Structure 1
Amino acid sequence: MARCYSVPVPNRQPPLAPDIWLVSDARNDATLETALARLPRGSGLVLRHYHLPPAERRIRFAVLKRMARRFGHVIVLSGTAREARKWGADGAYGAAGNLTHGPAILRLVTVHSLRELARAHRARADMAVVSPVFATRSHPGGKTLGPTRFRLLAARAQVPVIALGGMTAHRARTLPARKWAAIQAFI
């Protein structure tokens, strides 16, 4: 008589889904500690810090991770899911192609179009970071989605949507997605 053994498959934990996200870069690095302290408990931090060499980036991540934990915040690393897990992040942030493989971890996928939204769905994104909604200081004069195109993309999303690009608390209240992220709004 043959025995059948089933291999337990770990269930993916439901993702942590803060409503407010602080996105880091060189422009807000000096004020991140202050901004983290001001954010509502349980907010999120996306650490990009592309301006730092890898070793310095890792050190900066460790410092900000300790502070984020102290305030009950989620911390997500821009990079692969494997790298995020290795660094002790709660999740990974980036383009769908970079987040397709790897451990079960919160995946925030960047989306700028319907095509990228479809890629995010195929990559099993937990959240879609849709941008740029409004004009930004990051890309002065750059093309934006505007509220109408943002709403159309958000309506097609099969996962929670985070609005990014020129966002403020006031602008977030005017959009259907209550989740939003900013780089400089918290400075």
Structure 2
Amino acid sequence: MSARAAAGSKERVIAGFWTVARTGACLRRCALTRKPLPHLLYFTDPVRTPDPEAVAGRLPRGSAIVYRTFGAADAEAVALRLKAIARRRGLKLLIGADEALAARVGADGVHLPERSAAQAARIGARRPNWLITAAAHSPRAARAPVDAVVVSAIFPSNSPSAGRPLGAMRLAQIVRLGGPPVYALGGVNQATAARLLATGVVGIAGVEVFLSSPLAKRRGER
């Protein structure tokens, strides 16, 4: 790839990041929720975003990190570093599917897989100040007793686990069912973000869309 082509590719990635960030902020302003909710959720992935601390250091204030450990031996150390970044940058930290780890590192809550969403009520009773979210891949799952659900996949996605895309129209129907606030996950980028504005979702979730942003370089922060 030529230097000119590489520069153009980087500019497109950065433009995509800010399109998603602005859309997420707009969605959050338009939503009425029981608890203050982040407008963006960054889901860590050891393959697709192998340096979660670098990505976390680029997130806009008011976003959240969802740290998924996938059994990593150094999960607690990574979580503590992410918590420090979150505190410094005005972010929230959720731990994926591990209440004990979330408590040890002083996280702001947990994100549960769809199969574990029934645990939310018990966790919430023990930790009423936590933010509890859960994955949802169907209208029924989107009514889980949590603070917010993350519905996927909305658009075609690079995730190996992504199913058939629901599309913006189906997403809007799920939102109208009246369950907890909904985040859109899967294939959200510069080209698709604007299609979420009329769906009623509270914000945007993603993985690779947060890989590049000029924010950290401009502020000199990690």
TM-score (norm 1): 0.80
8 Å Cα contact 1:131/1:144 also seen in 2: yes
8 Å Cα contact 1:134/1:146 also seen in 2: yes
- 2:105 is matched with 87
- 2:42 is matched with 22
Distance 2:190 2:69 in 1: 24
1:136 to 157, 170, 174: 157
- RMSD between aligned alpha carbons? 2.1
The Cα shift of 1:141 comes to: 7.3
8 Å Cα contact 2:153/2:187 also seen in 1: yes
Number of equivalences = 168
- 1:10 is matched with none
Distance 2:36 2:101 in 1: 18
The Cα shift of 1:28 comes to: 4.1
- 2:90 is matched with 72
Distance 1:144 1:75 in 2: 27
1:35 to 36, 52, 55: 55
The aligned amino acid for 1:57 is: A
The aligned amino acid for 1:89 is: A
1:152 matched to 2:173: yes
- 1:3 is matched with none
1:179 to 186, 193, 203: 203
1:57 matched to 2:75: yes
Gap regions ≥5 residues in structure 2:
1-33, 212-222
- 1:97 is matched with 118
Q: 1:34 to 1:80 in 2, by over 3 A?
A: closer
Distance 1:16 1:163 in 2: 17
Distance 1:106 1:131 in 2: 19
TM alignment of 1:6-21, pairs within 5 A: 15-21=35-41
The Cα shift of 1:100 comes to: 2.9
* Cα distance per residue 1:130-186 (max 9 Å; x no partner): 111111111277312111211111121432211011112552332122500111111
The aligned amino acid for 2:169 is: T
Kindly indicate which of the two structures has a greater share of residues assigned to helix: 2
Q: Secondary structure at the match of 2:209?
A: coil
TM-score (norm 2): 0.68
Which deviates more, 168-177 or 158-167? 168-177
Gap regions ≥5 residues in structure 1:
1-13
Q: Secondary structure at the match of 1:142?
A: coil
The aligned amino acid for 2:132 is: R
Percent sequence identity over matched residues?
29
Pick 1 or 2: higher relative contact order, CA cutoff 8 A, min separation 6: 2
